Structure 1
Amino acid sequence: MTDAALAHGGESRSAAGGRNPWLIAIVVSIATFMMVLDTAIANVALRNIAGSLAAGLDESTWIITTYLVASSVIVPISGWLADVIGRKRYYMLCVATFTGASLLCGLAPNLDMLILFRILQGLGGGGMAPSEQSILADTFPPEKRSQAFALYGIAVIVAPTVGPTIGGWLTDHFSWHWIFFINVPFGILSLALVQWLVVEPDVLKRERRERLKDGLKVDWVGFILVTLALGCLEVFLDEGHRNDWFSSSFITTFAAISAVSLLILIPWELAHRNPIVDMRLLFTRQFGTSFLVMMAVGAVLFSTTQLMPQLQQTAFDYTATLSGLSMMPGGIAMLMLMPISGIASGFVQPKYLIMMGMSAVAVALWHMTSLAPDATFSFFAFARVFLMVGLPFLFIPISTAAYLGLPPRKTNQASALINVARNIGGSIGVSLTTTVIAQNAQLHQSNLVANTAQSSSIYQQTLRQAGEYLAAQGSPAVEAKAQAVGWVGQLIGRQATLLAYVDVFRYSAVATALLVPLALLLRSPKPSRPGK
């Protein structure tokens, strides 16, 4: 049999129908590329949006936070929604919601309306990736899934790489409105192709009828607990560093609600006959390990994607466009390595590819600790390429391994949870790195300031040289001395920030290296028998 994921009785669950399954893989990748691209673009344009809408930078961060909260809430229940609504119908509903909300975001007259539309956009975007991965897992047989996920992975991982470049260019040459308008044609194209080419298999239609024959039974308690647990967790992670974590009653409240909801959610869903989230999957060896490793991949991918442009724009005075361009070579490297990883997954066991990929990422992160104040554009470009080399050998094997041994009916739920892992990992990674940078920058600045005592001959010599240079540029002697002191202060601030980033790269490298043995918990796939 050549169709993937056959149900009992030999019925195909493939979304390709009689068409080439690779055509379906391309079609479902379009919307995800649009969604992931939008997330990366919005981060770059945040300052411009705040200025245009007369909002403070802290207020404007809710543009990102609310999207992440809405997305994190809808992702875990998207498997259940796909089962109840119908996978194709639910997927098209998500794409249409995201596309319409993008148009509304671009037209938003003020910050409040933009935040409202971003929530709507997050609800649409959050359900897209789980549906797409479920379609791929059912459309391709196990021995070809890795190659299908390689094609899909190009959209998921390359989009954050080119996003800053596109976002910077659109923001610098047009306006921030276009970072949302650009989604509209892609969304319309995706809807048209999905309606035309993607099939809802008969077996899924029958399973849906069987599920609804006694009426729709909704696990409302589970839904509320998931919303509180993940929604509050996202607010806690995204806003915590801005509010000094547990020093803020606002952040403490959200952390407590999230923790209590999660503690109640797990036993409730395990005991429920028709859970809205199948928590049992997390307690299986294969899927549970895949979940943890995907969290680590999400942490590395999202934190470094945000970290590099931030470092370049704060410590090296790069423009948004230039910092985006420095990440482009990494995207090209990813584009070239994705197919190779997909092919390798057919010959090498996933756990060994994951160990190799994590080791490569750890070495690449350690290489970033050599960052110097005079780092060039080529240093950043090469460092990004070095980092991207390992990620294809993580994303594809994990996505493939997660579905090994799963019953066909569990595909939608598994796809939802593996995306939860990537999103939570990404939020934790970004939150931790941001916090470490803020705290360590203060620590390094205190240590550097200690070397600026009036009795220090090096400090006095630096002041004298700076003062002489400024005086030669036309500044009066008294002003030149004051300007020299200010210049030294700025220099100390930059060096402290740079050292804090180096600390983050060091900690990340060590943490990634320690996670390498975790992949050994994954089972080895059973070889396919001829004719299967």
Structure 2
Amino acid sequence: MADAAAMGGSGARSAGRTTNPWLVAVVVAVAVFMEVLDTTIANVALRYISGGLAISSDEASWVVTTYLVSNAIVLIASSFIAQRFGRRRFYLLCLATFTLASVACGLAWNLPSLLIFRMIQGFAGGGMVPVSQSILTDSFPPNKRGQAFAIFGVAVVVAPVIGPTLGGYISDNFSWHWCFLINGPVGAIAFTLVYFLVQESDEARKKREDMRKKKIRFDLIGFLLVATFLGALELILDRGQTEDWFDSNFIIITTVICFAAFVAAIPWLMTAKNPIVDARLIATRQFGSCILVMLATGAILYSTTQFVPQVLQENFGYTATWSGLALSPGGLVTMVMMFTAGRLSGLVQPKYLIAIGAAIIAFSMYDMTRLNPDLNFGFFVWSRCILGLGLPLIFIPITSASYDGLRPDQTDQASALINAARNTGGSIGVSIATNVLAHREQWHQSRLVEHVVPSDPAYIETMRNLQHFFTERGATMADAQQQAFGMIGQQVQEQASYLAYVDVFYTLAIISACTIPLALILRKIDLNGGGDAPAH
């Protein structure tokens, strides 16, 4: 373990040309922030993209789908590619490709060109995030990684929150093209800084040479099976509601392909000499629990980021900019809490921090069930701030806990799987929330309509008052009756919508609460970097 400590302590010298590893962490975080930002920045710009390219809103939604699918697919391959060809080289290639693809997205002339560039952007971006975590692991000793991951966590957790705000402001005041073009100068600066400040660690370099000597080959079959499974799953989750689920041949065929790929992948990954995904790693109590917790965390993070602005725009009449601004204070709270959680992770066992964070998030979601038409801007800001307190208490400890007990050659794959879990969890969360919203809105509307009958005293009284209201303003009796009936129908629909959103937040509260027992079954780790820390 003395070697481990020495290696950890020399991480800054081996992973960066600067003697200050914090500068490496900031530079890497900027690049990751840019990549993660693009998972949500386009969401609020879809109607502008639809109008600008003269396409339907359903066609425009493929801008988000293609990015998520390509991002999920490349994550599982990033571990092998980074080890085989070098983390720094692969990271720079991904960063340059992502930047150029972003500019190309902003200059796209039609939907096919935009989708192609968006797919390339997703492939490049998917390789950046896990390699970033590996760079941080090399740069910091185990007892400092919690604070280092806090900087990384700011990028990963705050970026999806800022995405709708920035995307809404740019779309409202400039053009949707700048949602992508903004990555050009930021990416160029990040590329330059990474090029000069980050280099390969001695351990990674030795691993690369060892792989070359042993002629370890890429697990193409395993990659195709897992990529097919994840890609098909992302398509099902993202397009299910739009395609009317299993009433659609597209969804049925995609589901069959997804299931077949999953079934075929299990025996292959368990028996392959150098599998693309270490199935045994996922099956362990420690790492498997971390995967499940990260799935739930991704579900909460991405679903709330999408549905809070959505309810503000649809039910409260907010602009895209103001609906995004409701999330911004929560992002600031998250940023501050990231560093607090980073320090706490060196003092308190991850299992307890995660359980506390999950409880705070569950309370935040439960608080959102008080949704009603009389709420003001401050309610949503406050609720998001509570959520911002809980997220870092999960994200930082779960990252540290997931690396506990792993060999150095497993860290790249562990990072890729954790990030894949976050992205997949986000898609699952959004899909669950979308379906709960759609089905519960129909259910509530059906229940409310049962009371809109001529024999109901409350209905009779409401119709009488509304007719009197409209006739006083010059409407004929026939017109007043029609207007009154229309207003009642509108009120029923709006009330059903509010109640459906309440059910969505109840569901998210339950998902968050379920992570508490998962957190508590994690084993205790050595907070000082000894014991179960990876040996070098």
Asked if Structure 1 and Structure 2 have the same fold, meaning a TM-score greater than 0.5 normalized by the shorter chain, the answer is yes
One-letter amino acid of the counterpart of residue 168, structure 2: G
Superposition deviation, residue 4 in structure 1? 7.1
| Match in the other structure for 2:77 | 77
- For the residue of structure 1 that corresponds to 2:196, the secondary structure is helix
Task: Map 1:12-411; keep pairs closer than 5 Å.
Answer: 14-213=14-213, 215=215, 217-411=217-411
Q: Deviations over 1:387-407 (max 9, x none)?
A: 221111000000111111111
| Match in the other structure for 1:493 | 493
| Match in the other structure for 1:454 | 454
- Provide the C-alpha distance between the structure 2 equivalents of 1:234 and 1:196, rounded to a whole number of angstroms: 37
Assess if the C-alpha contact under 8 Å between 1:236 and 1:251 holds in 2. yes
- Provide the C-alpha distance between the structure 2 equivalents of 1:67 and 1:131, rounded to a whole number of angstroms: 19
| Match in the other structure for 2:503 | 503
One-letter amino acid of the counterpart of residue 274, structure 1: N
Q: Deviations over 1:292-351 (max 9, x none)?
A: 111111111111111101111111111101101111111111122111111111110000
Superposition deviation, residue 18 in structure 1? 4.9
Assess if the C-alpha contact under 8 Å between 1:4 and 1:140 holds in 2. no
Mean CA deviation greater in 459-468 or 300-309:
459-468
| Match in the other structure for 2:436 | 436
Assess if the C-alpha contact under 8 Å between 1:137 and 1:403 holds in 2. no
- For the residue of structure 2 that corresponds to 1:274, the secondary structure is coil
- Provide the C-alpha distance between the structure 1 equivalents of 2:530 and 2:438, rounded to a whole number of angstroms: 57
Assess if the C-alpha contact under 8 Å between 2:101 and 2:121 holds in 1. yes
Superposition deviation, residue 478 in structure 1? 2.8
- Provide the C-alpha distance between the structure 2 equivalents of 1:472 and 1:203, rounded to a whole number of angstroms: 83
Superposition deviation, residue 435 in structure 1? 0.4
- Provide the C-alpha distance between the structure 2 equivalents of 1:11 and 1:386, rounded to a whole number of angstroms: 35
- List alignment gaps of at least 5 residues for structure 2: none
Aligned length: 531
Rate the CA distance shift 1:256–1:204 in 2: closer, same or farther, 3 A: same
Query: What is the CA RMSD across the aligned residues, in angstroms?
Result: 2.1
- For the residue of structure 2 that corresponds to 1:41, the secondary structure is coil
- For the residue of structure 2 that corresponds to 1:373, the secondary structure is coil
- Provide the C-alpha distance between the structure 2 equivalents of 1:472 and 1:265, rounded to a whole number of angstroms: 71
- Provide the C-alpha distance between the structure 2 equivalents of 1:416 and 1:333, rounded to a whole number of angstroms: 27
Superposition deviation, residue 246 in structure 1? 1.7
| Match in the other structure for 1:469 | 469
Q: Deviations over 1:209-261 (max 9, x none)?
A: 22123546221111210221101010011001111212222111111211221
- Provide the C-alpha distance between the structure 1 equivalents of 2:366 and 2:153, rounded to a whole number of angstroms: 25
One-letter amino acid of the counterpart of residue 20, structure 2: N
- Provide the C-alpha distance between the structure 2 equivalents of 1:312 and 1:113, rounded to a whole number of angstroms: 32
Superposition deviation, residue 369 in structure 1? 1.0
One-letter amino acid of the counterpart of residue 16, structure 2: A
- Provide the C-alpha distance between the structure 1 equivalents of 2:372 and 2:530, rounded to a whole number of angstroms: 56
One-letter amino acid of the counterpart of residue 379, structure 1: F
One-letter amino acid of the counterpart of residue 358, structure 2: M
Assess if the C-alpha contact under 8 Å between 2:50 and 2:60 holds in 1. yes
Q: Deviations over 1:141-165 (max 9, x none)?
A: 1111111111111111111112111
- Provide the C-alpha distance between the structure 2 equivalents of 1:507 and 1:67, rounded to a whole number of angstroms: 26
Rate the CA distance shift 1:476–1:174 in 2: closer, same or farther, 3 A: farther
- For the residue of structure 1 that corresponds to 2:311, the secondary structure is helix
One-letter amino acid of the counterpart of residue 267, structure 1: P
Superposition deviation, residue 2 in structure 1? 10
- Provide the C-alpha distance between the structure 2 equivalents of 1:80 and 1:527, rounded to a whole number of angstroms: 29
- For the residue of structure 1 that corresponds to 2:327, the secondary structure is helix
- Provide the C-alpha distance between the structure 1 equivalents of 2:167 and 2:173, rounded to a whole number of angstroms: 10
- Provide the C-alpha distance between the structure 2 equivalents of 1:189 and 1:471, rounded to a whole number of angstroms: 65
Assess if the C-alpha contact under 8 Å between 1:3 and 1:14 holds in 2. no
Rate the CA distance shift 1:351–1:14 in 2: closer, same or farther, 3 A: farther
Assess if the C-alpha contact under 8 Å between 1:25 and 1:152 holds in 2. yes
| Match in the other structure for 1:512 | 512
One-letter amino acid of the counterpart of residue 197, structure 2: L
Rate the CA distance shift 1:450–1:200 in 2: closer, same or farther, 3 A: same
Q: Deviations over 1:262-285 (max 9, x none)?
A: 121122112111112222210222
Superposition deviation, residue 207 in structure 1? 1.7
- Provide the C-alpha distance between the structure 2 equivalents of 1:156 and 1:482, rounded to a whole number of angstroms: 52
Rate the CA distance shift 1:13–1:442 in 2: closer, same or farther, 3 A: farther
Superposition deviation, residue 6 in structure 1? 5.9
Superposition deviation, residue 507 in structure 1? 2.0
Superposition deviation, residue 483 in structure 1? 1.9
Superposition deviation, residue 413 in structure 1? 0.8
- For the residue of structure 1 that corresponds to 2:372, the secondary structure is coil
- Provide the C-alpha distance between the structure 2 equivalents of 1:41 and 1:3, rounded to a whole number of angstroms: 44
- Provide the C-alpha distance between the structure 1 equivalents of 2:241 and 2:399, rounded to a whole number of angstroms: 31
Superposition deviation, residue 363 in structure 1? 1.1
